[in-house]
Structure 1
Amino acid sequence: MSVQAQEQQRHQWLEAIGIDSWLPRQPLPGAAAPAGWVADFRYPQADGAADFADYEDSAAESSLSGPAQGAAPARKPGGGSGIDTQALLGDIQTRSAPKPQPKPQTPPPAASADPAPAADAAAPTAQKPVEPAPHFKLAYLVRGDLLIIDSLPPHHREGFSRQHKRLLQGVTTALGLTAEQELSDPAMLPWPMLASKTLDQGPTEARLAVEHKLKRTLEFRPDISRILLLGDAAMHWVTGEPFKQGALPSLSGRTCVASISLSELLRLPERKAELWQDIQPIRNTAS
């Protein structure tokens, strides 16, 4: 089939289903040049008397070789357009109509002697409520064989300040440590560690974190033989016991004493005498 006949057939089909097609009759300014078949194209006449010689020859050859896929339908007798519009539309509607879906069969319920377990299994599992996170801040420092764990105000922005370090230098020197034994930088453990309402950072997790920190510190510095706990938070979270000033708790086989925090001593310098009394047991054992 020639290009002219193919385009004639395509436009005839478009007209049959109610679609108007437009072709240029003269060159349009700024537009691409039309295809060669456009100049000789003729729309079908109203009475269907258009001359489709090439198309008719192709249709005759198709009728001899049998029906082929995509072959054009036979023309109606009487010079009609050759397109059975009703049949075409009916075929389109048939193909576009939704196919009936088979109704799903509901399986019979399984016999159960005791339906109670199934009901219990379907019930949602109650989630364990998240415990409120405690708030504290601990500073870990080492000088010689002495480990100091100091309690800091949880919301204090400055943290372990120069005033804290200067005061601790004097306290540790009074315990018999020499100038060659330098005071380490503070390692901070703030709690809660993350700003999350869904993450479990309750008391149990806080105690595990403090225990882990102490264990790692003693593993890194096995020469530590004395521990000084300063403040309520250090005593409570490290030993699990309530704070008692001057207490001598047992901690990993090391000599340990609890006393006032450095922040309290900076706020109330007159309490330094109390600290001096509290640290006498570990001062006496210093080499």
Structure 2
Amino acid sequence: MIEEARRRAYLGAMQVASWLPRVALPFAAPSRPELLQAPEQPEAEVPASAAPSAPPQQAQPTASRPAIPVIVPRPAAQARATAPEAEAEAQAPAPRAPVEAPPRFALQLLRAGACALLVELPTGEPLASRDPAYLLLKDLLRAAGLPDSPQLIGEPVRWPLLAGGSLDQGPQAAREFVQGFVAARLEESGPCTCLWLVGRPAVRFAGEGDEESLYRELQVEELGVAWAIPGLERLIEEPARKAELWRAMRRVRQRWMSQNQA
């Protein structure tokens, strides 16, 4: 039998750390109790092929473009940079308001008893005795109880006054001129009980009214009470408007009829 020392030498050469014989060996040292316990089963190792593969990395470019440095100005530098711009804006001239085109119209001022009439001239020329518009005006005056042969007061007002030039001849200038002209002529010829505004230009530039002002009485500063009615040409082209005109006339004619009776 091999002695214990030689047996251990053989086992060390075979890289056997410990072993347990099936039977008791002669001249062998007693076995240690921990060697008689069954060894624990090791956990199954996950094969390398089953492990999750790492996501493929994108290929890095062989050469990278140089980074462009970003310069952030300091607050003081920004203030110095914006100061000249603000000064330039302050010195720049303010944009001029658009100039409206001058309106075009012709008006004639007439006198019929206690009333004055500012009448639109459709052709720009004074009314002739045989014009349909003049004949209609005579009918209106007779229905109103006024003389049917009105008198001319001054020359017709034709706008624009000048063919060109830099003079402002827009709507506001036209309104101021027409109102000043009518006020001056009425002061010369004597006050009137009611001023008839016949036609859109007369309503707009003397009475400061619009389409909704027709058949109504308007209170105009420096001109007194005015009555707005459609133009003579419009009444001829749209006869249905005459009925509304007659109804409106019955409401307002008492204003000058009481003056005539007095």
TM-score (norm 2): 0.54
- Check if 1:185 corresponds to 2:152: yes
Between the aligned partners of 2:165 and 2:127, the Cα distance in structure 1 is 27
In 2 relative to 1, CA 246–191 (structure 1 residues): closer, same or farther, beyond 3 Å? same
Between the aligned partners of 1:140 and 1:263, the Cα distance in structure 2 is 17
In 2 relative to 1, CA 178–200 (structure 1 residues): closer, same or farther, beyond 3 Å? closer
Between the aligned partners of 1:174 and 1:208, the Cα distance in structure 2 is 32
Residues 149-188 of structure 1 aligned to structure 2 (within 5 Å): 149-153=118-122, 156=123, 158=125, 160-162=127-129, 163=131, 164-178=133-147, 182-185=149-152, 187-188=155-156
Residue 256 of structure 1: CA displacement?
A: 2.5
Structure 2 residue aligned with 1:265: 235
Residue deviations 1:243-267, cap 9 Å, x none?
A: 3221111134744321121111233
Structure 1 residue aligned with 2:199: 231
Between the aligned partners of 2:218 and 2:124, the Cα distance in structure 1 is 31
Between the aligned partners of 1:143 and 1:169, the Cα distance in structure 2 is 10
Secondary structure of residue in 2 paired with 1:217: helix
Residue 178 of structure 1: CA displacement?
A: 4.2
Secondary structure of residue in 2 paired with 1:193: coil
In 2 relative to 1, CA 207–254 (structure 1 residues): closer, same or farther, beyond 3 Å? closer
Question: In structure 1, what residue type is equivalent to 2:152?
Answer: D
Question: In structure 2, what residue type is equivalent to 1:233?
Answer: P
**RMSD between aligned alpha carbons?**
3.2
Residue 121 of structure 1: CA displacement?
A: 11
User: Unaligned stretches of 5+ in structure 2?
Assistant: 1-83
Structure 2 residue aligned with 1:147: 116
| Equivalent residue for 1:132, pick from 94, 101, 108 | 101
Residue 216 of structure 1: CA displacement?
A: 0.6
Residue 120 of structure 1: CA displacement?
A: 9.4
Secondary structure of residue in 2 paired with 1:215: helix
Residue 141 of structure 1: CA displacement?
A: 1.0
Residues 103-142 of structure 1 aligned to structure 2 (within 5 Å): 130-142=99-111
Structure 1 residue aligned with 2:249: 279
Deviates more, 1:167-176 or 1:121-130: 121-130
Between the aligned partners of 2:197 and 2:89, the Cα distance in structure 1 is 51
Residue 222 of structure 1: CA displacement?
A: 2.3
TM-score (norm 1): 0.50
Between the aligned partners of 1:258 and 1:122, the Cα distance in structure 2 is 48
- Check if 1:248 corresponds to 2:217: yes
Between the aligned partners of 2:124 and 2:181, the Cα distance in structure 1 is 22
User: Unaligned stretches of 5+ in structure 1?
Assistant: 1-114
Between the aligned partners of 2:186 and 2:202, the Cα distance in structure 1 is 16
- Check if 1:205 corresponds to 2:173: yes
Identical pairs, percent? 29
Between the aligned partners of 1:227 and 1:278, the Cα distance in structure 2 is 15
Between the aligned partners of 2:195 and 2:172, the Cα distance in structure 1 is 23
In 2 relative to 1, CA 148–157 (structure 1 residues): closer, same or farther, beyond 3 Å? closer
Residues 46-61 of structure 1 aligned to structure 2 (within 5 Å): none
Between the aligned partners of 2:106 and 2:201, the Cα distance in structure 1 is 8
